[in-house]
Structure 1
């Protein structure tokens, strides 16, 4: 329980939470970006 209190009530806990959330958002964004690019490359015919 002390861990959760430190995570949400201290400045270093909140910054850690922000960094964790930012990394998760970036992972979702880059996964969708790369999957979309791979689909576009697979659909274009070779010349």
Structure 2
């Protein structure tokens, strides 16, 4: 329980939380980007 208190109440903990959120968001963004590009490439290959 002390770890959660440190995570949410200290500047270091809050920065860690921000980095974790950023990394999760970046993973979500790149997953969507790569899936969209794969679908576009597949559609372009089928048109040829």
TM-score interval, normalised by the smaller of the two chains? over 0.9
| TM-score, reference length from structure 2 | 0.92
Where does the alignment leave 5 or more consecutive residues of structure 1 unmatched? none
Q: Measure how far apart 1:22 and its partner are.
A: 0.2
> Higher helix proportion, which one?
2
Q: Which runs of 4+ in 1 moved over 2 A?
A: none
Q: CA deviation at 1:31?
A: 0.2
Q: Please give the per-residue CA displacement for 1:1-47, whole angstroms capped at 9, x wherever unaligned.
A: 1000000000000000000000000000000000000000000134x
CA RMSD of aligned residues (A): 0.7
Query: Could you tell me how far apart the structure 2 residues matched to 1:11 and 1:40 are?
Result: 43
